[in-house]
Amino acid sequence: MQPWPGIEPDDSLKREGAVLSGIVEWAQGRGIPVVGGGWLGAPEVAFERLKRMPEPEAVAEVAGYRESARVEPWYRTEPLGVHEHLLRWMVRRLDRHWPIPEEVRVHRDTVFVGRLEWQYRALSIPLSSLRARRDWGVDAIYVFGRYAQLPMLGRREGCPVRARFDEVLAQRGA
């Protein structure tokens, strides 16, 4: 199991990216073909900190009549059950860097994450930056952009948010 880099990339990941970018530039400068950019080709996308999670009703109230007339679904995780709370507690005891979200919502093109770590009440990230899924047993970790990762630990198959993420990845052929 590789160490979890956290919400924002740590310095070792950034150094690794800089070294690999230098190698790619060196190879291209000498006429050596480099096929695909891999994760280096993905943009750096960061989670945006929010004061609170948006509520579906609040979004409809502030939207204009044209916007509020369009019914677009909200995909959301179910509240954490006993198993998920126990899993979260065990993982946090082993490694406090593992951020396990209590709640995830997807609306239109934005992913909202609630209570990910003690210092974050809510975060958001564009759904368009979703680029990969890493299976971790029955759980999954979704990768956004170059470094950002969202663990869906305790969220099993049938979770509406995981289904939406998988649908987006399937549409892109990832």
Domain ranges across the chain: 11-172
**Taking the model in full, what pTM does it have?**
0.73
For 8-32, what is the mean pLDDT?
Answer: 78
Considering the chain, what percentage of its residues have pLDDT values greater than 70? 71
Distance CA 106, CA 129 (A): 13
Count of Cβ atoms closer than 10 Å to residue 84 Cβ: 18
Amino acid 97: pLDDT: 58
> Residue 24: its pLDDT value, please?
82
Which of 4-13, 102-111, 124-133 shows the lowest mean pLDDT across its residues?
A: 4-13
pLDDT (mean) for 90-118 = 76
More confident residue, 52 or 164: 164
